Every structure is written in structure tokens, then in C-alpha cells.
Amino acid sequence: GQQVMQIPQYQHVQEGEDFTTYCNSSTTLSNIQWYKQRPGGHPVFLIQLVKSGEVKKQKRLTFQFGEAKKNSSLHITATQTTDVGTYFCAGPSGTYKYIFGTGTRLKVLA
Amino acid sequence: NAGVTQTPKFQVLKTGQSMTLQCAQDMNHNSMYWYRQDPGMGLRLIYYSASEGTTDKGEVPNGYNVSRLNKREFSLRLESAAPSQTSVYFCASSGRGLDPYGYTFGSGTRLTVV
């Protein structure tokens, strides 16, 4: 069945360093979504990418959708302690639902 | 505040006991979902309801049943709880199945089966 994998599973960075998480799908995606989950919290929607090669920015976060629409990345510039959490990508599976990636847990050391 | 409300927030069950997790949304969303989250496994879809009156299995439906009671409410039932069902359960909703504004999640139910 369809699988969405993320790497790395964990990442520890010093505050101010950059961070990137990668999302890879076993199938071509019509779109991809990203979510953030703070420790002890629930996932919160960040953004959706639709077009091949699309790049979107939200302040220090840069999201990219691969040319083949099978992979995506989230890059955070100059991490802050508020960036701590787990980042998930999600790809459509059929018409009505999304399959979530395994997530990347980010820890930021002050 | 508008959103997705889950009850209870915490629950401890003995093996073999049954319980129902409740979920309600007040955003007039058509689609609702139940996910479970386990360490290192991400979010796995248990069941979903694309619209009122319909329910379908997700990736891990065994041991669970659901009811879409009305447009607002979507409940998840464990008929005979097992330790393997220890997890954090999230309910989510969206305007439609592949909503460009994403899913809105509830705050979760932390379930322990002993």
C-alpha cells in the first residue's frame, strides 16, 4: 500500500542552526500537506503544496514540493526554541483521506 | 471556541473492557477522522467518515468500530480493549476529504490498557 516516510526520525540542533526534514512517498501525490505537533499537543496544519517544484515560505520555514511530486522538504532557518516539536507531512490516499508520514521530532538546544 | 472537542482526555482500561471515545466539531465540516499515534509510527488512520451517513476503514481498523451520529459527532468504540490499543487517539475534521486548509485536530485522548 501507499507509504509516506520521513527522515530523519529525530534531530537535535543548537539554537540558531538550520534544520531540514525530508518526506518521501511511494506514489505520486496530487498535493502534500505539512503539520506541526508541539510536545504533548495535537497536530496543527501549516501549509499545502500542489504544483511540481513549488516553493512556499512562512517566515523562517521554507516548504518545497519535488519536481516528480513524490517528495517534499521543510527547511527551518535559524531555529528557535519555539520550533520544538514533531513535523509531519501528509499525502492524499484516494479522494477522502490523507496518509501521514512517520514524523521528524526536532529538539532545539538553547 | 470553534474546533474539535474530544472526551475523555485520559482513560485507563482493563483488558477486555469496552469504551467509547467521543468527538464533536462545530465547524460544519463534512469529513471526520480517527487516528492513533504511537511512538515512531506517526499518525495512522483507523476509520473515517467522508460525509454524514458514511464510514470507511482506514489503515488499522481491527478492534474498533465507529458511528457518525450526525454531522457534528463521530465516535470511536473499543469493544474489548487490548494492551496493543494503548495509544493517543486523535479525532480530526475537514471541510471536505482533501481540504486545502487541512485537518483540524482535537486535543487527543490518552488511553492506557492494562
pLDDT at residue A1, rounded to an integer: 73
pLDDT at residue B55, rounded to an integer: 97
Percentage of residues of chain A with pLDDT beyond 70:
100
DSSP-derived pairing of the beta strands A10-14 and A61-65: unpaired
pLDDT at residue A96, rounded to an integer: 86
Query: Using CB atoms and an 8 Å cut-off, which of residues 90-109 of chain A contact chain B?
Result: 92, 94-103
Does residue B39 have a cis peptide bond before it, meaning omega lies within 30 degrees of 0?
no
Closest CA to A75 of A90, A64, A67: A64
Is the CB of A54 inside 8 Å of chain B's CB atoms?
no
pLDDT at residue B99, rounded to an integer: 87
Please determine, for residue A18, whether its predicted confidence score (pLDDT) is greater than 70: yes
Closest CA to A106 of A40, A39, A32, A10: A10
Please determine, for residue A58, whether its predicted confidence score (pLDDT) is greater than 70: yes
pLDDT at residue B39, rounded to an integer: 81
pLDDT at residue B34, rounded to an integer: 98
Task: Measure in Å the smallest separation between the Cα of B16 and chain A Cα atoms.
Answer: 28
Q: A93 φ, ψ to 5°?
A: -130, 100
For residue B93, give Cα distances in angstroms to A3, A47, B23, B31: 22, 16, 10, 6
Q: In 3-state terms, what secondary structure has residue A83?
A: helix
**Angle at alpha carbon of residue B58, lines to A105 and B54, rounded to 5°:** 130
Contact A95 B98 (CB under 8 A): yes
B93 to chain A: nearest residue by CA? A97
pLDDT band at B9 (very low <50, low <70, confident <90, very high): very high
pLDDT digits 0-9 by tens, B48-93: 999 999 999 999 999 999 999 999 999 999 999 999 999 999 999 9
pLDDT digits 0-9 by tens, B11-58: 999 999 999 999 999 999 999 999 999 987 889 999 999 999 999 999
pLDDT at residue B97, rounded to an integer: 78
Please determine, for residue B1, whether its predicted confidence score (pLDDT) is greater than 70: no
Helical ranges in B1-114 per DSSP H: none
Contacts of A100 in chain B (CB under 8 A): 35, 42-45
Q: Mutation test of the interface with chain A: which of B59, B68, B98, B107, choosing the one with the most A Cβ atoms within 10 A?
A: B98
Is the CB of B97 inside 8 Å of chain A's CB atoms?
yes
Please determine, for residue B2, whether its predicted confidence score (pLDDT) is greater than 90: no
